[in-house]
């Protein structure tokens, strides 16, 4: 298996700047490069901000790891595939370092999040590095060769099959086509076979007398062809026409006899051959008429076939009835309906936290899918009728699809219910015109109805 190029295994930092709900800047940062933000034109993201230095190092590189530096006036969230943590909570974490006025948070390629600085929101995540561009081909790199790198075995087989194809084409054009056999010739062959069986023809050709006759006829035809033909009289023309009609009638008669011979299906009771195409055969009858003769399924039984001791034939047939299939002393059983459980649950929503998109649009789409959340809740209510509480879930919307679904809080204590709702959310679809990387934290309030 071919190894993937090394650049496809490296992830780079992707940062987007949102201002007024719209993305104003977006860049992929090269590995090992720090990211600065501020009012300076030399900053990685030049943005007019108050309360921070003109080139504040938001992301720094320490060894092979990125570090996120935040100030006291900054807020936001940092998440992984498992959970989302508020920035204020991370500041209070003992593992977080303090450098002057900034808090330093080590991050990896599994982290993503958002940082809010005044009216500017910074979204970040790690994505696979783009492939390296192909090196342009210059004329000196291309050196045409004819036979230097060709496969000699391939060329040998190519020449061999070319010669064979030429021989085959020559053979096809040189062989005369087989003559088409007509019906009249087939009739003559049948007559010849019949005569051979009766002994009238003793060898493959004709007898010596027959050969002499044929030779004499040929000589007479040649002699007649040399004599100039005279114009026939009216009586001769009429006689020739009568002879032609009789020959035609004889030919038609021979053809009909041949068809009877081919169409026979054996001798009948009186010794005559029956025609397969006779009216009694059923071919050509109306389908409705033919099916009208069927009155039911007929099954041969021992009595109907007269198969008894000493009896070998029988002609009786009758229909099988359902009574013949009845079982003696059959019992009865009744299956009643089991007890049923009906549960009803109410699902309402709290205050939604939507970053980067229109909250009204997001909430409207969630309302159209609320039936799936209710189905998960009512399914768990069957096991625990008093189940209730609040479940808060976070996810990201990119190009209308949901990713990064994670559980923020669950006061119901039912992990199966939370997992069911999260699986439903993964299949939700949102409008594609929402800004990329729209963050949603949505609470579902569940109570029995």
The CATH number of 345-448, from 3.90.640, 3.40.1130, 3.30.2420, 1.10.260, is: 3.30.2420
Name residue, tokens 């007269």: 306
- What string of DSSP letters covers 191-211? HHHHHHHHTS--SSS--HHHH
What pLDDT shows up at residue 445?
A: 92
What is the separation of C-alpha 333 from the centre of its chain, rounded to a whole number of angstroms? 47
What is the separation of C-alpha 65 from the centre of its chain, rounded to a whole number of angstroms? 45
* Rounded Cα–Cα distance for residues 25 and 120 (Å): 11
> SS3 for 85?
strand
Name residue, tokens 């789409």: 365
Can you give the pTM of this predicted structure? 0.32
* Rounded Cα–Cα distance for residues 203 and 196 (Å): 8
Q: Which pair of structure tokens corresponds to residue 412?
A: 């119901």
* Rounded Cα–Cα distance for residues 17 and 116 (Å): 10
Other Cβ atoms within 10 Å of 36 Cβ, number: 18
Provide CATH 2.60.200.20 ranges for the chain: 10-127
- Helix (H) or strand (E) segment spanning residue 264: strand 264-267
Determine contact, residues 86/439, Cβ cutoff 8 Å: no
Determine contact, residues 396/404, Cβ cutoff 8 Å: yes
What pLDDT shows up at residue 406?
A: 93
Provide CATH 3.30.2420 ranges for the chain: 345-448
Determine contact, residues 111/65, Cβ cutoff 8 Å: no
Helix then strand then coil, in percent of the chain rounded to 5, is: 35, 25, 40
The CATH number of 10-127, from 3.10.129.10, 2.60.200.20, 3.30.70.260, 2.40.160.20, is: 2.60.200.20
* Rounded Cα–Cα distance for residues 446 and 392 (Å): 11
- Per-residue pLDDT of the chain in tens (449 residues, 90 and over written 9): 444 444 446 888 899 998 888 888 898 888 888 899 988 888 889 988 877 888 888 898 887 788 888 888 888 898 876 788 888 888 888 878 888 888 888 888 888 898 888 888 998 888 888 777 776 666 655 555 555 566 788 888 999 999 999 999 999 888 888 778 787 777 777 777 766 655 544 444 445 666 667 777 777 766 655 556 667 788 888 888 898 888 887 876 676 665 555 555 444 444 444 444 444 444 444 444 444 444 444 444 444 444 344 444 444 444 444 444 444 444 454 444 444 556 788 888 878 888 888 888 999 999 999 999 999 999 999 989 989 999 999 999 999 999 999 999 999 999 999 999 999 999 999 998 888 889 999 999 999 87
- What strands, in cross-sheet order, belong to the sheet with 102-107? 45-46, 35-38, 56-62, 65-70, 102-107, 97-99
Determine contact, residues 58/67, Cβ cutoff 8 Å: no
């Amino acid at each position: 298996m071919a190894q993937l190029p090394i650049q496809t295994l490296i992830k780079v930092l992707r940062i987007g700047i949102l201002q007024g709900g719209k993305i104003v800047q977006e860049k992929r940062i090269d590995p090992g490069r720090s990211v600065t933000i501020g009012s300076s034109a030399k900053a990685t993201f030049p943005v007019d901000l108050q309360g921070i230095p003109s080139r504040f190092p938001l992301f720094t590189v320490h060894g092979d790891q990125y570090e996120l530096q935040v100030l006291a006036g900054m807020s936001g969230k940092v998440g992984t595939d498992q959970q989302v943590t508020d920035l204020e909570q991370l500041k209070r974490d003992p593992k977080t370092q303090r450098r002057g006025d900034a808090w330093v948070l080590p991050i990896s390629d599994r982290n993503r999040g958002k940082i809010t600085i005044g009216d500017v929101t910074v979204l970040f995540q790690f994505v696979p590095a783009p492939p390296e561009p192909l090196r342009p081909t210059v004329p000196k790199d291309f050196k045409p060769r004819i036979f230097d790198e060709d496969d000699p075995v391939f060329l040998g087989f190519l020449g061999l099959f070319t010669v064979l194809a030429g021989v085959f084409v020559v053979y096809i054009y040189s062989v005369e086509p087989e003559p088409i056999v007509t019906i009249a010739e087939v009739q003559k062959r049948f007559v010849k076979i019949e005569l051979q069986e009766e002994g009238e023809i003793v060898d493959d050709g004709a007898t010596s007398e027959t050969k002499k006759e044929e030779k004499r006829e040929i000589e007479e035809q040649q002699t007649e062809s040399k004599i100039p033909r005279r114009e026939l009289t009216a009586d001769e023309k009429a006689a020739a026409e009568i002879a032609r009609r009789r020959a035609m009638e004889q030919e038609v008669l021979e053809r009909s006899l041949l068809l009877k011979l081919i169409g026979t299906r054996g001798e009948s009771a009186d010794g005559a051959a029956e025609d397969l195409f006779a009216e009694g055969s059923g071919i050509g009858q109306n389908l409705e008429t033919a099916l009208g003769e069927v009155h039911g399924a007929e099954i041969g039984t021992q009595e109907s076939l007269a198969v008894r001791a000493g009896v070998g034939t029988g002609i009786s047939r009758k229909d099988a009835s359902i009574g013949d299939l009845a079982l003696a002393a059959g019992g009865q059983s009744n299956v009643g309906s089991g007890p049923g459980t009906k549960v009803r649950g109410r699902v309402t929503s709290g205050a939604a936290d939507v970053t980067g998109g229109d909250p009204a649009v997001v909430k409207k789409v969630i309302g159209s899918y609320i039936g799936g959340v209710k189905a998960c809740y009512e399914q768990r209510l069957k096991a625990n009728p008093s189940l209730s509480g609040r479940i808060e879930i976070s996810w990201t919307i990119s190009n209308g699809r949901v990713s990064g679904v994670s559980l923020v809080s669950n006061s119901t204590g039912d992990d199966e219910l939370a997992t069911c709702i999260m699986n439903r959310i993964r299949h939700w679809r949102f409008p594609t015109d929402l800004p990329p990387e729209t963050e949603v934290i949505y609470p579902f309030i569940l109570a029995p109805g």
